[in-house]
Amino acid sequence: MLKNVSLTIEPGDFVSVIGNNGAGKSTLLNTIAGTLTADAGDLTLAGHSVTKKSVAYRAKWLSRVFQDPKMGTAGELSVAQNLTLAQRHTHSMSLHLYRNAQQEAAYQDLLRPLQMGLEDRLTTQVKYLSGGQRQALSLLMATLSHPELLLLDEHTAALDPQTSAKVMELTQKIVETNHLTTMMITHKMSDALTYGNRLVMVQDGQVKLDVCGAEKQNLRQDELMALFAE
Amino acid sequence: MLITSIGQGLLWAPLVIGVFITFRILDIPDLTTEGSFPLGAAVTVSAMLSGQSAVTASLLGFLAGCVAGWVTGILDTKLHMPSLLAGILTMTGLYSVNMHIMGKSNVPLLSQKVLTNYLPATWSVDLQTIVVGALVTGVVVAVLIWLFKTRLGLSLMATGNNAAMSSANGIYTDRMVIIGYMVSNGCIALSGALIAQSNGYADIGMGIGTIVIGLASVLVGEIFLRGRQIWLRLSAMVLGAIIYRYLLTVAMGLGFPVDDLKILSAGILVIVICLPIIRNKYRTRQQLKRYLKQLGADEHEAEPISSLKRQASPEGLLSRDTK
C-alpha cells in the first residue's frame, strides 16, 4: 500500500529504491508500470498523463525487467523472436513479415557484447537458456527501444551471486551508454549504494529518505542500516 | 477405407486447426467450438437454400464463426470471465441462434450445387472430397503460415506464451486473444460448412463432441509429427485429423454402432493424453536404469534408485512446458 507518495524522477536519473519486505517498493513499481492502478493521484510519464492507462499503452515510454527471468521473455519463442517483440517501433498488429537476414545480423551485433554466446543461438527457444542468459536478454530487450524510463524490479535477486554481479555490471554499462532514466528496486544495500545517483528508501508506504548526488555518495551502509531500524 | 478417411479428415482439418490456435497458441481450452461448428453449417446451408453459391455460403459460414469467436473473446477479456465459462456461454447461446437460422433442427440441402459439384462429375465421391478438402485446407494452412510469420502472428504467439511480458512490450493482449478466438472459430465454422455440404444437411446436434474430436486430433497429430516450425505444426494438425477419422472408421468397421462413436471419441482422447505420459515415464525409467548401470559398475549402492525414481516427473502432452 502506498500513502501520499510524491516522487519526481528527472531525466538521466538512476534511482535505487530500497525498503523492507512489504514496505511498498513493489507496489510503487507496479503502480508506475500499470500492473496496479492508483486509487488517487496522478501519474505522468514523459509529459503524458497515464494514471488510468493500460500496461501496453505505457510501454511506449516505459520498459521493465522482472525479478523472475521467466517473466521477461517468452520461453516458447526464439531469441530472435523475443528481440523482435521488444522493437516497439513496429506495431504489434502489423502484417509485415518480421524475419530477414539484415535484422538477424543486427541482433547478433546486439547480443555479442553480452558475452554469453547468445549471438549464435538466435533460433534457440528461450526456455532452454539459463536464468542469467534470460535475464541478460530481458535487459537487452527492455533497453532496445530506448525507453524514457527503465524499471528494474529486483532483477538480479533470482540469480546466483556471480551471475547477479555480471548482470548488474551489464545493467550499469547499458544504462550509461544509452543515458537511460532508471529506477531500480533492490534488496542489496551495497548495490543501492554503489549504483545510481539517487537513493530512495520506502517504508510503510511512504518515501522515508530521498538523497541524491554528493549526499548519496557519502552515505554509508551503517547509516542506512540505522535508518532501517527506526 | 483409408481413402474415405483422408477425404473426411481434410474436411475436418480446419476444425482441428481452429482448436490448435486456441488450445496451443493461446493456451485456452475454447468450448465455443461446439456451437460455432453447427453455426457454420447452419449459415452455409441456409445461405445455399436462399440461392447463394456454395463458395459464398461457405465464406459466410466462416464469417459467422468469426463473430461467435468475437463474442467469446469479449466475454473472456473485457468482462473478465474464465475462458471455459465464456466458451460455455457462447456455445449455449449459439444453440438458439442456430435454431433460429435453420428454423428446425435438421435442414437438408435440396438440389443445390455443393463445392464438390464444381469438379467433374465423372470423378468418384472420394476423389471429389479429397480435392475440395485439400484445396480449402491448403488455403487455410497457407494463410495461417503467412499470418504467423507476420508481426501480428508473433504477437499472438507471445500473448499465449507470456501475457505479462507481452503487455510489458506494448502488445494489447486483449485484442490478440479476441483475434485468436475469431480466427479459430472461423476455421471451425468453415469445417462445419464443409461437413454440412458433404453430408447434405445441417443438424442442430452436429456440434456435440466436436471439442473432443478437435483436441484428440491435435494430440494425435502431435504424436506423429513433432516440430517447432509453424508449417510443421499445422501439417501435424491435418495429419491428426486424417488419422483420427481413420481410427473412427476402423472402429465402425469393427462393428461399433454409430451411437457409440462419442464414447469412442472420448476414449481415444483419454488414450492420446495418457500415452505420452506413459511413454515419458518409461523413457525416464530406461534412462535411469542405463545411468545407474554405469554407476553400478563403480559403486554397488541401490539406495538412490527409489528417491531418483520419485523425482523424475513425467511430462504429458497436456502439461505446458516450463515457460
State how far the Cα of B4 lies from the Cα of B157, in Å rounded to an integer.
34
B169 with A85: Cβ contact below 8 A: yes
Note the pLDDT of residue B320.
47
CB contact under 8 Å between B157 and A76, yes or no, is yes
The CATH number of A14-78+127-229, from 3.40.50.300, 3.10.20.30, 3.40.50.720, 3.90.870.20, is 3.40.50.300
Give helix A79-86 / helix B151-161 axis angle, nearest 10°: 110
- Cβ <8 Å between A60 and B154: no
Domains of chain A, residue spans? 14-78+127-229
Number of other CB atoms surrounding residue B289 within 10 Å: 12
Q: Chain A: nearest CA to B323, how far in angstroms?
A: 5
pLDDT at position B16:
96
Q: Does A100 touch chain B (CB under 8 A)?
A: no
What is the number of residues in chain A?
230
Which parts of chain B sit beneath pLDDT 50? Answer: 302, 304-317, 319-323
Q: Which residues of chain A have a CB within 8 Å of the CB of B319?
A: none
Q: What single-letter DSSP state applies at residue A195?
A: S
- pLDDT of the residue at B321: 44
Closest by alpha carbon to B245, among B282, B217, B225? B217
Asked if residue A148 has pLDDT above 60, the reply is yes
pLDDT at residue number A103: 84
Contact A76/B at CB under 8 A = yes
Measured torsion, CA atoms of residues B138, B142, B143, B147, in degrees rounded to the nearest 10: 150
- The whole-number pLDDT of residue B318 equals 53
What confidence score (pLDDT) does residue B6 get?
93
Closest CA to A181 of A204, A132, A142, A147: A147
To test the contact with chain B by mutation, choose from A66, A67, A92 the residue with the greatest count of B C-beta atoms within 10 A, namely A92
Report if pTM > 0.80. yes
Question: Would the CB atoms of B154 and A77 count as touching at under 8 Å?
Answer: yes
CB-based contact, B157 to chain A, within 8 Å: yes
Give yes or no for B249 touching A (CB within 8 A).
no
The residue count of chain B comes to 323
A58 close to A33: Cβ distance less than 8 angstroms = yes
Chain B residues with CB-CB distance to A141 below 8 A: 169
Grid look-up 484445396 returns B135
Helix, coil or strand: residue A83? helix
**DSSP symbols for B143-166:** HHHHHTTBHHHHHHHHHHH-HHHH
Q: Select from A195, A185, A188 the least CA-distant residue to A225.
A: A188
Q: Indicate the residue of A66, A72, A92 with minimum beta-carbon distance to B171.
A: A92
Q: Taking CB atoms and an 8 Å limit, are B165 and A74 in contact across chains?
A: yes
Q: Which residues of B touch A63 (CB under 8 A)?
A: 168
* Distance from C-alpha of B56 to C-alpha of B264, rounded to nearest angstrom: 35
Assigned C-alpha cell, A68: 523472475
Contacts of B158 in chain A (CB under 8 A): 74, 77, 81, 85
Q: Which of B158, B146, B214 is nearest to B185 (CA)?
A: B214
Q: Which residues of B touch A134 (CB under 8 A)?
A: none
Q: Mean pLDDT across chain A, nearest whole number?
A: 86
What tens digit of pLDDT does each residue of A59-101 get? 888 899 998 888 989 999 999 999 998 887 667 777 778 777 7
Alpha helix ranges (H) inside chain B:
2-20, 33-49, 54-77, 83-102, 125-147, 151-161, 163-168, 173-199, 210-224, 230-253, 261-298, 304-311
Residues of A in contact with B151 (CB under 8 A): 84, 90-96, 98
